[in-house]
Chains A and B, each alone.
Chain A
Amino acid sequence: MSDTETHLKKFEKELAAGTVSLVLLAVLAAAREPLYGYQIAKRLEQEAGVLAGKQSALYPVLRNLSAAELLDTHVEPSVAGPPRRYYRITPLGRRVLREWIEAWTATRRSVDSIIKT
Chain B
Amino acid sequence: MNSTPQTIGEYLDQLRAALAGADPAMIQDALYDAEEHLRSELADNPGMSEAELLAKISGSYGAPEEVAEIYRNQEVTVTRALRPPPRREPSSNPITRFFAVAGDPHAYAAMFYLLLSLATGIFYFTWAIAGIALSMAFALSLVGIPFLILFFGSVRMLSLLEGRIVEGMLGVRMPRRPPYADRDLPLGKRIVAMFTDPRSWSSLFYMLVMLPLGIIYFVLLVVSTAVPVALMAAPFAQAIWRLPVAQIGDIDFYAPAWTWPIEFVVGFLGLFVMLHVARGIGRMHGAVAKSLLVKIAA
A residues lining the B interface (CB < 8 Å): 36-39, 41-42, 45, 54-57, 59-61, 63-64, 78-85
Contacts and interface: CB of A to CB of B under 8 A. Distances in A.
Contacts of A78: 39-40, 43
Interface stretch (B63-71, B104-112, B144-152, B213-221): B63-71
Contacts, number: 78
Interface stretch (B27-35, B241-249, B290-298): B27-35
Nearest to B180: A82
Given A60-B71, A63-B176, A81-B183, A54 B62 contact: yes
For chain B, give the interface size range.
20 to 34
A38 B40 contact: yes
22 contacts: A36-B36, A38-B36, A38-B37, A38-B41, A38-B44, A41-B61, A42-B44, A55-B60, A55-B61, A55-B62, A56-B33, A57-B70, A60-B71, A60-B78, A79-B43, A80-B42, A81-B38, A81-B39, A81-B40, A81-B43, A82-B36, A82-B183
Contacts of B181: 82
Contacts of B192: none
Nearest to A57: B70
A42 B70 CA distance: 19
A56 B183 contact: no
A54 B42 CA distance: 18
A55 B37 contact: yes
Contacts of B44: 38, 42
B81 A56 contact: no
B36 A56 contact: no
A64 B40 contact: no
Contacts of B32: 82
B66 A37 contact: no
A13 to B, nearest CB: 10
**Chain A's interface: helix, strand, loop or mixed, by majority?**
helix
Contact of B39 (A42, A61, A63, A80): A80
Tell me which of A37, A78, A81 has the highest count of chain B C-beta atoms within 10 A of its own C-beta: A81
B74 interface: yes
B36 A54 contact: no
Given A81-B183, A82-B181, 6 more contacts: A39-B40, A41-B61, A55-B60, A56-B61, A81-B35, A81-B36
B33 A84 contact: no
Tell me which of B29, B34, B36, B181 has the highest count of chain A C-beta atoms within 10 A of its own C-beta: B36
A42 B40 CA distance: 11
Given A64-B78, A81-B183, A54 B43 contact: no
A82 B39 contact: yes
B252 to A, nearest CB: 57
Contacts of B81: 64
Ranked 9 nearest A-B pairs via Cβ: A81-B39, A80-B43, A38-B40, A54-B62, A59-B33, A60-B74, A56-B67, A56-B62, A55-B61
A105 B289 CA distance: 47
